[in-house]
Amino acid sequence: MKQTKIKVTLLSHTKDPERTIVAAIRQCYSPLSGYELWEKVSDDQKRKLIRQVISSGHTSTIEHASFTFAIEGVSRVTEVQTVRHRIGASYSIKSGRYNPSHSDFVVPPKIAANTEAMKVADDFKKDIDKMIEKFTKLGFAFEDIRYLTPQGTKTNFIMTMNARALFNFFAERLCLRTQWEIRQMATQILAECLKIAPNVFKYAGPTCVTEKICWQGKMNCGKPEKNKSIELRERF
């Protein structure tokens, strides 16, 4: 069975997102028009004002910057986990009803690394192909047959989030307790965001790094806070 990697592509984003955010911040206290404020933004203002609003928790102004990503080769498991992030986000997902490719599924790395386990997975894939073929010959529509296919079926989707929604997404999905696939996806998304708006997204990450607390409570990863913060800071 061929293994494919998650692919994240930044399709588009707000023009000069950091400048737009700073204009929004300044508009709250200035009599000037938003366009005038947008035109007159220095690099120093970007750094200082963005740091100020994020550190203070007044992050409504960063909602004015949005980012659109194409996500490829993830499982339906990760799709379902991702769309739980509904506020400030939009999704367009490949239809499973009209794309009959449900024997192509994501295999977790621990299973992929085990030769015997992969043989079982390959046999399972062949069985799914045979099942789909038999049900089709019996006259069933694929929209019904797909109910019997795995959660790991691969899919693609386009996701748009504003920066504030992305902060929430990163806080939860970069956590070491998060499932491996969506954490890999979130890591790639953050890498793309850092290229475009480094003064904003250098403050993004799991709460054990950004706020020195773990939102998982008793369900935490069990690592000492100091070691965990060092590991995650080096990674992100």
What is the per-residue pLDDT across 74-113, written as a single tens digit (0 to 9) for each? 999 999 999 999 999 999 999 888 877 666 889 999 999 9
Q: For residue 7, give Cα distances in angstroms to 18, 88, 141, 158.
A: 25, 22, 31, 12
CATH number of domain containing 170: 3.30.1360.170
Domain span holding position 136: 109-148
What's the CA gap between 88 and 151, in Å, rounded? 26
Q: Are residues 38 and 15 in the same domain?
A: yes
Residue 64 has pLDDT above 70, yes or no: yes
**Distance, CA of 70 to CA of 18 (rounded, Å):** 22
pLDDT at 2: 61
The residue out of 121, 148, 175 marking a domain boundary is: 148
Q: How high is the pLDDT of residue 224?
A: 59
In this prediction, residue 28 carries a pLDDT of 83
Q: Which helix (H) or strand (E) holds 163?
A: helix 163-173
Q: Band of the pLDDT at 33, cuts 50, 70, 90? A: confident
What pTM does this model have? 0.90
**Do 133 and 158 belong to one domain?**
no
Whether residue 227 has pLDDT greater than 80: no
Maximal CA-CA distance, the chain: 71
Could you tell me if 16 and 87 lie in one domain? yes
Residue 102 lies in a domain: no
Among the listed ranges 19-23, 51-55, 61-65, 102-106, which one has the minimum average pLDDT value? 102-106
Active site residue 173: yes
| pLDDT of 225 | 58
Whether residue 172 contacts residue 178, with contact meaning beta carbons closer than 8 Å, is answered with: yes
Q: Is the per-residue pLDDT at 3 higher than 90?
A: no
| Number of other CB atoms surrounding residue 26 within 10 Å | 19
Most confident segment among 31-35, 133-137, 174-178: 133-137
Would residue 99 count as lying in a domain? no
Separation between Cα atoms, residue 69 and residue 12, nearest integer Å:
7
The answer on 175 and 142 residing in a single domain is: no
57 in a domain, yes or no? yes
User: Which amino acid is present at 5?
Assistant: K
pLDDT for 117 equals 95
Q: Are residues 13 and 66 in the same domain?
A: yes
pLDDT mean across residues, the chain: 88
What average pLDDT does range 183-192 have in this prediction?
Answer: 95
Of 144-148, 218-222, 225-229, the poorest mean pLDDT is in: 225-229
Residues present in the chain in total: 236
Q: What share of the chain is helix, strand, coil (3-state, %, to 5)?
A: 55, 15, 30
Say if residues 206 and 174 touch (Cβ distance below 8 Å). Answer: yes
Q: What value does the CA radius of gyration of the chain take, rounded to a whole number of Å?
A: 22
Across 119-123, 200-204, 214-218, least confident range: 214-218
Number of structural domains in the chain: 2
The pLDDT of 170-189, averaged and rounded, is 93
Same-domain pairing of 122 and 89: no
Same domain, 138 and 208: no
Residue 197 lies in a domain: yes
Rounded Cα–Cα distance for residues 209 and 228 (Å): 8
Q: Is residue 52 part of a domain?
A: yes
Q: Given strand 154-162, what is the order of strands in its sheet?
A: 7-13, 66-75, 154-162, 89-93
27 lies in the same domain as 71: yes
Residue 103 located in a structural domain: no
Does residue 220 belong to any structural domain of this protein?
Answer: yes
**How confident is the model at residue 1, as a pLDDT?**
59
Which amino acid makes up residue 121? A
CB proximity list for 95: less than 8 A, separation 6 or greater: none
pLDDT class of 235 with cuts at 50, 70, 90: low
133 with 168, same domain: the answer is no
* Closest CA relative to residue 63, chosen from 202, 200, 225: 200
E strands, 52-185, in order:
66-75, 89-93, 154-162
Catalytic residue among 26, 173, 233, 235: 173
Residue 182 near residue 82, CB atoms below 8 Å: yes
Same-domain status, 87 and 135: no
- What is the pLDDT at residue 136? 93
Q: What is the Cα–Cα distance from 191 to 185, expressed in whole angstroms?
A: 10
- Domain check: are 32 and 142 in the same one? no
Same domain? 171 vs 88: yes
Q: Is residue 101 part of a domain?
A: no
Q: What is the CB neighbour count within 10 angstroms for residue 74?
A: 24
